[in-house]
């Protein structure tokens, strides 16, 4: 019953994991065509039900893609109700690209709501991820939209800086369309900074290749027309042609601002009645920015008294606007943000220092305990050394007996007594950094091992005695395993007489692990034999 329940649990986990992975793959697929087919992407995202997007990662990805799809379909969000799961998830985890996109679209939401300060902070958080992000299109757009924030707050220098950054990133891509959209942003920034020649040149470039991008084309045609009536050497005919193209080719009506551009162009061409007709319409709708344009129109007519009146009124409006901007300035908001981030980083550093100090103290305590333990063990080993010296004398006598007497009791003698030599060898291996008493052990053990490992005559006597006592076991073994070398046979003899792994490892200059490996391979060869002596081999050798 228990095994059945465990099996059901494992199957359930596997199904859940496969569903989760499948859902995420589907979200990635939707993301792959989001750029070129935003309407299809939005429809697919809306079709996905709650069962398909279980799990924090899937929910966050869906929320991010849903916000992207709405934005790309020109559905402007002004609150975070949809993107909130993505903000919660990607604030702490996720790839740099997903986190950058989250800050980008959160900033878009704030910008749609007219909250430029919070939008700028989100874009600034996104900018911190630029070095890690691989999505150059997203980075280019981030910089471009950041320039828009500075446009809204009348900071032309920063607007140009960020628009240029957007262009620089998008130059690395093969998409001419996206690059020229960024160029249009930069042209607008140059116009706002009164760099008219640079703006004129860029507008001329980008509107030649943006025919497929209706939204950008409509936007840039309007700004380009505005530039042509405001620059020092105005070209009103070009401005009217651009406005006409916007209206006829893209079926866009004039905004109040473009009506002002149209009226001023008519004035520059000497068509005062047409200009006055448009001004009358704009007064009826109570357009707030009309004073600025009336100032320019009356100045062009050389009616300076009326021009000054409109200029003063326009200046007062501009002062109010600047006061509002200064009281809620984006640069100040960013400074506050960076200041708070610096303070947070300082606190984190202090915590890291405290943790490091605790770690160092812990290491010191552990090392002290280890040193004390080593000192204790060293004293214990010194006592053992004295005992090993006495044991050595007995082992030496056994070796002499071995040379003079190889009786039937040889196997038992080796098994009982040569373990002493193994102990001496183990001491030899573990005491190499000691002096005094152990040096005596080294010399004697080395002599003992040399006698055992190099005396061919002794080994032949050993084989002869083993054959006599164990029914020709070595003879039969050579017949059954003819490929065994002399070293292999010597290894087998030492196993039969009971040498332990430590002593054998020293004699053959092998590691103890290799001794066991050699024994294991020998066992496999013997088990594979079809020999009447197989059981005898296993009994005496293994």
Tell me how far apart the terminal alpha carbons of the chain are, to the nearest angstrom.
43
pLDDT tens-place string over residues 25-51: 899 999 999 988 999 999 999 998 888
Q: Give the integer Cα–Cα distance in Å for 163 and 140.
A: 9
pLDDT-above-90 percentage for the chain: 22
What is the reported pTM?
0.53
**Closest alpha carbon to 511 in 519, 501, 520, 521:** 501
Residue 251 has pLDDT above 70, yes or no: yes
Under a CB-based contact definition with an 8 Å cutoff, are residues 185 and 169 in contact? Answer: no
pLDDT tens-place string over residues 103-128: 999 999 998 998 888 888 998 898 89
With cut-offs at 50, 70 and 90, classify the pLDDT of residue 320.
low
Higher pLDDT, 176 or 452: 176
pLDDT tens-place string over residues 356-404: 777 887 887 888 778 787 777 777 666 655 555 554 555 455 445 544 5
**Closest alpha carbon to 252 in 218, 225, 280, 276:** 218
Q: Give the integer Cα–Cα distance in Å for 197 and 204.
A: 11
Q: Which pLDDT score is estimated for 489? A: 85
Under a CB-based contact definition with an 8 Å cutoff, are residues 118 and 110 in contact? Answer: yes
Token reading at 406: 């190889």
């Amino acid at each position: 019953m228990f095994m059945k329940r465990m099996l059901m649990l494992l199957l359930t986990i596997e199904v859940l994991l496969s569903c989760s992975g499948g859902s995420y793959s589907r979200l990635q697929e939707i993301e792959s065509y989001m750029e070129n087919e935003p309407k299809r992407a939005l429809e697919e995202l809306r079709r996905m039900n709650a069962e398909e997007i279980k799990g924090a990662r899937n929910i966050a990805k869906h929320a991010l893609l849903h916000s992207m799809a709405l934005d790309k379909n020109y559905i402007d969000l002004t609150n975070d109700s949809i993107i909130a799961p993505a903000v919660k998830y990607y604030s702490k985890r996720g790839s740099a690209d997903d986190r950058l996109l989250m800050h980008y679209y959160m900033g878009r939401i704030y910008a749609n709501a007219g909250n430029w300060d919070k939008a700028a902070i989100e874009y600034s958080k996104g900018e911190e991820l630029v070095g890690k992000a691989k999505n150059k299109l997203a980075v280019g757009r981030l910089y471009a939209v950041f320039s828009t924030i500075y446009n809204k707050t009348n900071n032309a220098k920063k607007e140009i800086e960020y628009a240029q950054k957007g262009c620089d990133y998008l130059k690395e891509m093969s998409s001419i369309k996206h690059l020229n959209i960024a160029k249009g942003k930069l042209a607008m920034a140059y116009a706002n900074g009164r760099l008219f020649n640079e703006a004129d040149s860029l507008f001329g470039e980008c509107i030649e290749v943006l025919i497929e991008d209706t939204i950008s084309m409509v936007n840039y045609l309007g700004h380009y027309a505005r530039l042509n009536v405001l620059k020092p050497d105005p070209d009103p005919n070009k401005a009217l042609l651009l406005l006409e193209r916007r209206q006829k080719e893209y079926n866009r009506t004039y905004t109040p601002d473009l009506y002002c551009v149209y009226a001023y162009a008519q004035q520059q061409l000497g068509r005062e009645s047409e200009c006055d007709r448009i001004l009358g319409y704009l007064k009826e709708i109570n357009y707030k920015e009309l004073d600025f344009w009336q100032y320019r129109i009356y100045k062009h007519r050389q009616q300076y008294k009326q021009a000054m009146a409109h200029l003063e009124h326009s200046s007062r409006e501009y002062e109010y606007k600047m006061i509002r901007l200064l009281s809620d300035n984006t640069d100040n908001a960013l400074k506050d943000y960076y200041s708070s981030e610096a303070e947070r980083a300082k606190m984190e550093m202090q915590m890291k220092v405290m943790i490091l100090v605790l770690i160092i103290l812990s290491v010191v305590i552990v090392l002290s305990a280890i040193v004390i333990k080593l000192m204790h063990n060293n004293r214990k080993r010194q006592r053992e050394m004295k005992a090993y010296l006495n044991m050595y004398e007995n082992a030496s006598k056994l070796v002499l007996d071995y040379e003079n007497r190889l009786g039937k009791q040889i196997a038992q003698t080796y098994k009982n007594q040569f373990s002493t030599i193994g102990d001496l060898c183990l001491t030899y291996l573990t005491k190499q950094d000691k002096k005094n008493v152990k040096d005596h052990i080294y010399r004697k053990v080395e002599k003992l091992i040399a006698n055992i490992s190099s005396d061919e005559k002794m080994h032949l006597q050993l084989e002869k005695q083993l054959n006599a006592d164990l029914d020709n076991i070595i003879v039969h073994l050579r017949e059954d395993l003819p490929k065994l070398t002399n070293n292999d046979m010597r290894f087998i003899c030492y196993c039969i007489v009971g040498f332990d792994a430590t002593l054998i490892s020293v004699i053959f200059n092998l590691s103890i692990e290799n001794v066991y490996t050699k024994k294991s391979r020998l066992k496999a060869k013997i088990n594979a034999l079809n020999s009447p002596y197989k059981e005898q081999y296993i009994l005496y050798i293994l």
